[in-house]
Copies of this chain bind each other. A is one copy, B any other.
């Protein structure tokens, strides 16, 4: 049986993404109708080697809305087997026997791929260190699609920490599936987008540019993707404050934006979008968070649907 792993943003082509959007649309209707018990016999394990409350709760809500059950651990420091020297592969082999899908957050790049290599159930990567966070990227592109109707012909301005913020990397990879996309990178010099992301965009024929002036950048934008500047990355508090103060979205910035332009943010925020902005209809970040639920339900559906299809195929082959 081929398992439906979710490892990285590059595994998705345009058609696959469209299919996920449609499933997510359907999942929104399921939630609005009070949920379903279609997967009441399914168990999801949340294996979080580092805490990420929001992502974990979003996944736990997703399986619950489909009738399924959750087992898991919310903190790596408490995963006692790991502290006793067990390899990730051994852990995954054993935990595979306890459930029908594993949602994993890990501190190491590539951990999700290693897990998928030995797992007997699907692995959903909920972030692997400085690597990827594909379910976040999926909810980001889904939100753009839902808010603006299409991902083609969009001008996306990415703002803030573009170096360490893995969500902008994954989002860039996914945008590369669409036509006539332009990306503007607006970041302090020391946290600018990495060369390997730019190389990937070049290969895929996606145009991009850099713009240090946020006011200029937002004027042409259809989508502004704001991120949190992570204080700990800077060499001094002064340098951090300068960069941080430079790229705040407030009422003034709103006045430079197009009427249809949406503001996204992976959340949590810590001051880089002022609270006065929340009331503006272009502030889409809470709707975006809500879409995370539908996307994660859609991915779970894909995992189990696949299994159903394979079961039917086996049955037909017999």
Residues of A within 8 A of B (CB): 34-35, 37, 40-41, 43, 45, 51-54, 56-58, 60-61, 64-65, 69-75, 78-81, 84-87, 90-91, 93-95, 97-99, 228, 267-271, 275, 286, 289-290, 293
Contacts and interface: CB of A to CB of B under 8 A. Distances in A.
Contacts of A73: 53, 56-57, 74
Nearest to A272: B85
Given A71-B70, A94-B286, A97-B293, A81 B61 contact: no
Does more than half of chain A's interface fall in helix, strand or loop, or is it mixed?
A: mixed
B81 A78 contact: no
Copies in the complex: 3
A99 B268 contact: no
B84 A72 contact: no
B90 A268 contact: yes
Contacts of A71: 57, 60-61, 64, 70
Given A61-B71, A71-B61, A81 B53 contact: yes
B69 A43 contact: no
Nearest to A71: B60
